[in-house]
A and B are shown apart, each in its own frame.
Chain A
Amino acid sequence: MKLTSSFTLNRQVPQLKIWITLFGAILLDQFHVFRFLPIEPLFAMPVLYFWSLYARDSFPIYIVFLAGIFDDALSGALLGQSALKFLVLYGIVTNQRKLILFGRNTVWAMFFILMMGLTLLEWAILSLFYGRYVGIMDPFIGILVSGLLYPLVQRGLRWINQLNF
């Protein structure tokens, strides 16, 4: 299958860039940066999606796990909640690269689909644990905003990838 993605990265991206961008995005998720928006976009998931897709050889799985635990510890979530979500995203993206990289729009569309699926998974786990209905509309709108911003995040990460450090 010929890959028709608009760009490709070097297979070997310095791990420092992945560490800085991923953990930076997790920190960014903890602040109320876009206070003026009713629903805030998430940054860690697009960054994780990007590096899993374009630099999986430089992106060991333990970073994904540690990032998830770090996110859980900072945000006050159940330990393992984000870690599981991150790992499922990483697993799907690294194993379905050909499908996702079929075209520029498939990258974006698959991001939306995966985000929706993972939000549903997180919602189901929380509803199961707490034994009652957990509101899902706000998370879905948040995913929509994150999805719309994905091309910008992608552009920013491409620019970071071109920097020499």
Chain B
Amino acid sequence: MENRGSSRFHVRKPFLRKINATFHNYRNLILLGFFCCLSIFSLVVSYTDFEMSRNVRVLVMDMTDSLVEAAGAPTRAVNTLMEGAQDWALAYQKVEDLTQENKELREHLARMRIFREENKSLKKLLKVTERHPRKIVSGKVILYPGRPFIKSMLIDSGVEEGMEPHLPVITAEGLVGRTLEVADHTTRVLLLTDLNSKIPVIVKPLNEQAILVGDNTEMPTLKYLPYESKIQPGHIIETSGRGGVFPAGVLVGIVESVNDGKVKIKTAVDLEAVSFVTAVSSSLDPQMTNSG
């Protein structure tokens, strides 16, 4: 019996023996070709059938959420330590800044109280129907892939916490992106800089509608502006509310540069330094609804 490598099959017929030997000689290449074809197939299926790839990703997210949480702990600890060290180094300046900010916020608060009362009485006069407040779900960023072609992050809130797909994700500074895949305890957020992100926006003070398109760089591009737009660096970009996913008036960023009709936007949120985010749910907040 001819011994061919580590084969455990004993083939008697010459033709089958020849095939067996050929397979052994080219086994690695055949396997490589097979797995490459499988990858290309899953790439095409993933692109065309988004639901299937989303299910696979949600499954992996469910299976690995505690592993990811545990594996990210050292990174978070190091980052907290570094931020803490920076805070200590600039403590005096920071206290001064915060005192000033606190003073300004107190003034704002006093003004807000007056406006709220005024608003209430005006609404009463006009008989305006109250809009119900939406439920919000917050989450901690547990994973931020530092990958060149993908701009997304994973947060530690999922279906159990009330998260849903296609919700706008914001911070106090402005828009971050929208929820994409929701597992039991984790959610993937598509950042506004990602290639797949397209957000209807409005340019202030021109009041011109446009679409903010991510291109995997830190500065997304503004497209579909009116033909003779007079957009300039410094103009403010806010969500327009069209399409129904993003509420109107959320700050997105400011115009950084305008070159040959190519408008680049600096995002309001430093996406790489975000620790906590909030998703605005489509369902009503029961506490606020009952109290209101």
Which residues does A use to contact B, with CB under 8 Å?
A: 27, 29-36, 40, 42, 61-62, 64-65, 68-70, 72-81, 83-84, 87-88, 90-91, 94, 119, 122-123, 125-126, 129-130, 133-135, 138-139, 142
Contacts and interface: CB of A to CB of B under 8 A. Distances in A.
B68 A91 contact: no
A65 B39 contact: yes
Contacts of A123: 149
B115 interface: no
Given A36-B82, A65-B39, A77 B215 contact: no
B72 A87 contact: no
Nearest to A85: B39
Interface string B27-40: 01001100110111
Contacts of A62: 35
Given A61-B35, A75-B152, A76-B188, A135 B216 contact: yes
Contacts of A77: 147, 149-150
A80 B41 contact: yes
Main secondary structure of the interface of A (DSSP, over half): helix
A78 B180 contact: no
A162 B28 CA distance: 28
12 contacts: A31-B75, A40-B146, A42-B147, A61-B31, A75-B150, A76-B145, A77-B150, A78-B53, A84-B36, A87-B36, A91-B36, A135-B216
Given A73-B60, A74-B68, A139-B149, A61 B32 contact: yes
Contact of A91 (B32, B44, B53, B61): B32
A134 B216 contact: yes
Contacts of A130: 195
A119 B148 contact: yes
Given A78-B53, A87-B35, A122-B149, A35 B272 contact: yes
Contacts of B53: 78-79
Contacts of A70: 60
A134 B195 contact: yes
A135 B213 CA distance: 13
Contacts of A88: 36
A66 B181 CA distance: 21
A80 B49 CA distance: 13
A21 to B, nearest CB: 14
B99 interface: no
Contacts of A122: 149
A121 to B, nearest CB: 12
Given A81-B149, A138-B148, 6 more contacts: A76-B188, A77-B147, A79-B42, A79-B43, A80-B42, A84-B39
A82 to B, nearest CB: 9
A32 B144 contact: yes
A64 B35 CA distance: 9
Given A79-B53, A139-B148, A33 B75 contact: yes
